[in-house]
Chains A and B, each alone.
Chain A
Amino acid sequence: QSALTQPASVSGSPGQSITISCTGTSSDVGTYNLVSWYQQHPGKAPKLMIYEGSKRPSGVSNRFSGSKSGNTASLTISGLQAEDEADYYCCSYAGTSTWVFGGGTKLTVL
């Protein structure tokens, strides 16, 4: 069970859109539509942003969206705002009642 692969960092200017990828294998992301995404500000606990690949919990801005193609899931943030600057983690079901997180991506709003 290896960690899902995310880019270490991404950046964008206010108002722009960015996409964070999360690459797994046919044993996790590729087989199950059970990817969730979490936002973590420094010193804070993670916050659920997307579940089941593309669903948003109540209260999460519609600027956040999720998708999947093959073994790669993606989180897109549109209309970037300063408050979006944080670390983002993906998580996927990996079969046999186990779950695996990605290594995390630091988003910088320029």
Chain B
Amino acid sequence: QVQLQESGPGLVKPSETLSLTCTVSGGFISSSSYYWGWIRQPPGKGLEWIGSIYYSGSTYYNPSLKSRVSIAVDTSKNQFSLKLSSVTAADTAVYYCARFLPHSDWFDPWGQGTLVTVSS
């Protein structure tokens, strides 16, 4: 079955850019049925949708983060990535990647998540 795995630095300095990659296994990211998304969860808090991408490159972003977020896809590596610029301590969170089925609108499965801490 499809599995997702996040990877990237666990520590990022304030004002710098957070970069994460999600590797998809057990299925093709170029599947026409699915989108791929990023969701984050600050420690002890709730989930926040960051954005989603289709294999063709079409992207959708949370309006509150849109000016700082970029999501890209690399079909040759079966990966998609997240960049979040000008980070502050408020961006400290566990970042999850997940598969998304449009029109039914569910996220499943999810990666295990990776904690990114913003600190100098």
Q: Point out residues on A near B: beta carbons under 8 Å.
A: 1, 3, 32, 34, 36, 38, 45-48, 51-52, 55, 57, 89, 91, 93, 97-104
| Stretch from B7-15, B24-32, B84-92, B102-110 at the A interface | B102-110
Contact in complex: A46, B46 (CB < 8 Å):
no
Known interface pairs A1-B63, A1-B64, A36-B105; A45-B110 also in contact (CB < 8 Å): yes
The 9 closest A-B pairs by CB, nearest first: A48-B108, A51-B106, A45-B110, A34-B105, A97-B60, A104-B46, A101-B47, A103-B46, A99-B49
Name the A residues within 8 Å of B119 (CB-CB).
Answer: none
A-B contact count (CB 8 A): 66
Name the A residues within 8 Å of B45 (CB-CB).
Answer: 103-104
B96 interfacial contact with A, CB 8 Å: yes
Name the B residues within 8 Å of A102 (CB-CB).
Answer: 46
Q: Point out residues on B near A: beta carbons under 8 Å.
A: 39, 45-49, 52, 60, 62-64, 96, 104-113
Name the A residues within 8 Å of B112 (CB-CB).
Answer: 45
25 A-B pairs, CB-CB below 8 angstroms? A3-B46, A3-B48, A34-B104, A36-B105, A38-B47, A45-B96, A45-B110, A46-B47, A46-B110, A47-B108, A48-B108, A51-B105, A52-B105, A55-B104, A57-B108, A91-B49, A91-B107, A93-B105, A98-B49, A98-B60, A98-B62, A99-B52, A101-B48, A104-B46, A104-B47
Name the A residues within 8 Å of B110 (CB-CB).
Answer: 45-47
For A32, A51, A93, A99, which residue has the most chain B Cβ atoms within 10 angstroms?
A99
In the complex, what residue of chain B is closest to A46 when comparing beta carbons? B110
Given A1-B63, A47-B108, A51-B106, 15 new contacts (CB under 8 A): A3-B48, A36-B107, A45-B109, A46-B96, A48-B108, A57-B108, A91-B49, A91-B105, A93-B105, A98-B49, A98-B60, A98-B63, A101-B48, A102-B46, A103-B45
